[in-house]
Amino acid sequence: MNDGTALPDPLLDVRGVRKSFGAATVLDGIDLTVGRGNVITLIGASGSGKSTLLRCINLLEPIDEGTIMFDGVDIAEPGIDADPIRRRIGMIFQSYNLFPHMSVTDNVAIGPRKVLGVDKATARRDALALLTRLGLAERADAYPDQLSGGQQQRVAIARSLAMQPDVMLLDEITSALDPELIGEVLDVVRDLKAGGMTMLFATHEMAFAREISDRVCFLHRGRILEDGPPEQIFGAPAEARTREFLQRVIDAGRL
Amino acid sequence: MTAAPTRRAAYERAQRRRAAIIATASTIIVVTALIVLVPRASGWEKVRQAFFDGDVFTDSFPRLIEAFWLDVKILLWSTPLILIVSLLVALARSVRSPALFPVKAFAVVYTDVMRGIPVILLIFLIGFGVPGLRIVSRTWSDPVIWGTVALVLSYSAYVAEIIRGGIDGVHESQRAAARSLGMTSHQAMNTVVLPQAFRNIVPPMMNSFVSLQKDVALVSVIGPVEILRQAGIDKSKFANFTPYVAASLIFLAITIPCTRLADHLLARERRRTGATTIS
């Protein structure tokens, strides 16, 4: 396993990205390289810019400055057609954002059908196979409101996987879940890593970040203040801010 | 759900039965009180003769039904027109392209003006004004047509706002989820936003439809002999208000089923979204 640095051909290369909402600077010069197959976690306090960074990479928010090279192309270029890029970048949201008017199967099948032009029968068959893989086969005909939070988030992951993305952005995907439901979602993330999926993962689950990451980035006020392998960040953080943050997490009983 | 009734289920059933008994009893008491007390009012005998004359009722009822057919026709014409115009206005208000700014501005002015004028005034203005311009042929000068146009213009403004509210009511995160799958904004609108918006707006649309059923009678102010005007004619003929009571009953015969349907749709929507009613 490599640590994501010094790759000749990184999948994602973020350089000098800045983003403000009005007077508030949310991203203040972010540099981040994600190699193929890397799992990189973003940790930091709420408001440190983790979610905004993911939304910028998925082109849901325009950036003010900087470049985002994705597979060799600067996707932050103004006027670029975002749709073909987004279909290669999967995104999982904290609040699942499933489509409530569609069954579980249709939620998973709708992307391939509408965006990739897969015919309905094939898309549904593939969706069912994916749901079976994630242990959701028996809920295939249910509607999102009838599922537990953990099941909904797994459906959201299946919906994203159905597009066969090159990279997945996970935005605090367990933050809305009851503690006993977090495990089932993290298990799916473990499986994805085992399958070689490239992931950029904003999370408050420190123990999991420590377990799964190739590299951990600590964000503070829109900057990556410290990054490195998990043993270093969690074991011997160099920055005082990182130590403070981790101490607060430990005090809250989350590490 | 288990097959055997639990203690809680039995308790809840008893509670429901108790509520039903109380509701029935109180209804009987109120209705009895009305039947017993109202006739004791000193003016009751005169009111009974003026409003509840059986002979006048049977005489005017067929004429009122016949006149009501015109109300139904106006309703059937205006409903689809309102749906089309309001959808166009709602979409015009949602355009983001700067080139289409005049369209958007027109839609904003349109909804403000039409919602600001009482329907009855609009019927007067358009119903008398447009034929008065003498730019339409005699057959097109029929007040039924221009009364209908006035209704369509007024109601479209309200319904457009309902539609726009429905579109805005779909959370932005739904659009984000659709777009992050790679859908175009058009695909996101058609597959994700509009189906949810439509479900949200059915109940308020039904309420507007019920209002329209009654407001059709306002077209009578510019001349057409529909049910309200026919009732007025019969009232003068018999010097008796019973035709108005008969007309009210005819309106209730169609508005009550529609109101019940609207309530049913609202309740179903509430059940579906999982919100519970706190009693």
Give the DSSP letter string of B58-103: HHHHHHHHHHHHHHHHHHHHHHHHHHHHHHHHHHHHH---GGGHHH
Cβ of residue B181 closer than 8 Å to a chain A Cβ: yes
**Which of the residues B174, B179, B181 would you substitute to probe the A interface, choosing the one with the greatest number of A C-beta atoms within 10 Å?**
B181
Task: Report whether pLDDT(B132) > 60.
Answer: yes
Of A28, A18, A126, A99, nearest to A66 (Cα)? A18
In the prediction, which pLDDT does A138 show?
94
Full residue range of the structural domain in which residue A231 is found? 1-88+203-255
**Cβ–Cβ below 8 Å for B177 and A84:** no
Does A100 reside within a domain?
Answer: no
Q: Which of A58, A97, A114 sits opposite B174 (nearest CB)?
A: A97
Q: Which of A84, A93, A97 sits opposite B182 (nearest CB)?
A: A84
In the prediction, which pLDDT does B185 show?
86
Alpha helices in chain B (DSSP H): 7-37, 44-51, 54-94, 101-116, 119-132, 143-169, 172-180, 185-187, 194-215, 227-238, 242-272
Of A152, A161, A102, nearest to A133 (Cα)? A161
Does A51 reside within a domain?
Answer: yes
**Cβ–Cβ below 8 Å for B181 and A87:** yes
Least Cα separation, residue B262 to chain A (angstroms): 20
Identity of the amino acid at B110: Y
**Cβ–Cβ below 8 Å for A87 and B274:** no
Q: Which of A58-67, B1-10, B70-79 has the lowest mean pLDDT?
A: B1-10
In the prediction, which pLDDT does A171 show?
96
Does A99 reside within a domain?
Answer: no
Contacts of A163 in chain B (CB under 8 A): 181-182
Does A76 reside within a domain?
Answer: yes
Pairing label, strands A215-220, A167-171: unpaired
In the prediction, which pLDDT does B267 show?
79
Residues of A with CB under 8 A from a CB of B: 58, 60, 82-84, 86-91, 93, 95, 97-101, 110-111, 114-115, 145, 159-160, 163
Q: Which of A49-63, B84-98, B216-230 has the lowest mean pLDDT?
A: B84-98
With cut-offs at 50, 70 and 90, classify the pLDDT of residue B60.
very high
Provide the 8-state DSSP code for B141: G
Whether residue B121 contacts residue B217, with contact meaning beta carbons closer than 8 Å, is answered with no
- How far apart, in whole angstroms, are the C-alpha atoms of residue A168 and residue B31? 67
Task: Report whether pLDDT(B32) > 90.
Answer: yes
Q: Which of A101, A145, A163 sits opposite B181 (nearest CB)?
A: A163
**Cβ–Cβ below 8 Å for B187 and A115:** yes
Residues B243-254: tens digit of each pLDDT:
999 999 999 999
**Cβ–Cβ below 8 Å for B181 and A160:** yes
**Cβ–Cβ below 8 Å for B183 and A89:** no
Mean of per-residue pLDDT scores for chain B: 89
Cβ of residue B176 closer than 8 Å to a chain A Cβ: yes
Greatest C-alpha distance within chain A? 56
Cα nearest neighbour of A158 on chain B: B181
In the numeric block, the tokens 């987004």 are attached to A86
**Cβ–Cβ below 8 Å for A83 and B182:** yes
Cβ of residue B268 closer than 8 Å to a chain A Cβ: no
Identity of the amino acid at A58: N
Cα nearest neighbour of B178 on chain A: A111
Percentage of chain A lying above the pLDDT 70 cut: 96
Q: What is the pTM of this model?
A: 0.77
- How far apart, in whole angstroms, are the C-alpha atoms of residue B276 and residue A9? 54
Cα nearest neighbour of A165 on chain B: B181
**What is chain A written as a DSSP string?**
---SSS-SS-SEEEEEEEEEETTEEEEEEEEEEE-TT-EEEEE--TTSSHHHHHHHHTTSS--SEEEEEETTEETTSTT--HHHHHTTEEEE-TT----TTS-HHHHHHHHHHHHS---HHHHHHHHHHHHHHTT-GGGTTS-GGGS-HHHHHHHHHHHHHTT--SEEEEESTTTTS-HHHHHHHHHHHHHHHHTT-EEEEE-S-HHHHHHH-SEEEEEETTEEEEEE-HIIIIIS--SHHHHHHHHHHHHTT--
Does A25 reside within a domain?
Answer: yes
Task: Report whether pLDDT(A178) > 70.
Answer: yes
In the prediction, which pLDDT does A211 show?
93
- How far apart, in whole angstroms, are the C-alpha atoms of residue A252 and residue B16? 47
Task: Report whether pLDDT(B276) > 50.
Answer: no
- How far apart, in whole angstroms, are the C-alpha atoms of residue B151 and residue B123? 7
Provide the 8-state DSSP code for B204: H
In the prediction, which pLDDT does A8 show?
65
Contacts of A84 in chain B (CB under 8 A): 182
Does A157 reside within a domain?
Answer: no
Q: What is the mean pLDDT of residues A126-143?
A: 94
Whether residue A207 contacts residue A175, with contact meaning beta carbons closer than 8 Å, is answered with no
Cα B229 to Cα B123, B178, B207, B247, distances in angstroms: 15, 53, 25, 10
Q: What is the mean pLDDT of residues B103-116?
A: 94
In the prediction, which pLDDT does B4 show?
67
Whether residue B202 contacts residue B57, with contact meaning beta carbons closer than 8 Å, is answered with no
Count of structural domains, chain A: 1
Q: What is the mean pLDDT of residues A78-105?
A: 94
**CATH number of the domain where residue A20 is located:** 3.40.50.300
Least Cα separation, residue B231 to chain A (angstroms): 47
Cβ of residue B173 closer than 8 Å to a chain A Cβ: yes
Percentage of chain B lying above the pLDDT 70 cut: 95
Does A177 reside within a domain?
Answer: no
Pairing label, strands A65-70, A89-92: unpaired
Task: Report whether pLDDT(A6) > 60.
Answer: no
**Torsion of the alpha carbons at B142, B145, B149 and B152, rounded to the nearest 10:** 150
**Cβ–Cβ below 8 Å for A87 and B174:** no
Quote the crossing angle between the two packed helices B227-238 and B54-94, to the nearest 10°. Answer: 150
Task: Report whether pLDDT(B166) > 80.
Answer: yes
With cut-offs at 50, 70 and 90, classify the pLDDT of residue A149.
very high
Q: What is the mean pLDDT of residues B98-125?
A: 93
Lookup: tokens for B203: 């109940």
Does A62 reside within a domain?
Answer: yes
In the prediction, which pLDDT does A32 show?
95
Contacts of A82 in chain B (CB under 8 A): 179
With cut-offs at 50, 70 and 90, classify the pLDDT of residue B2.
low
In the prediction, which pLDDT does A7 show?
56
Contacts of A62 in chain B (CB under 8 A): none
Contacts of A83 in chain B (CB under 8 A): 179, 182-184
Beta bridge partners, A220, equal A223
In the prediction, which pLDDT does A129 show?
96
Cβ of residue B58 closer than 8 Å to a chain A Cβ: no
Least Cα separation, residue A215 to chain B (angstroms): 25
- How far apart, in whole angstroms, are the C-alpha atoms of residue A55 and residue B186? 20
Cα nearest neighbour of B274 on chain A: A145
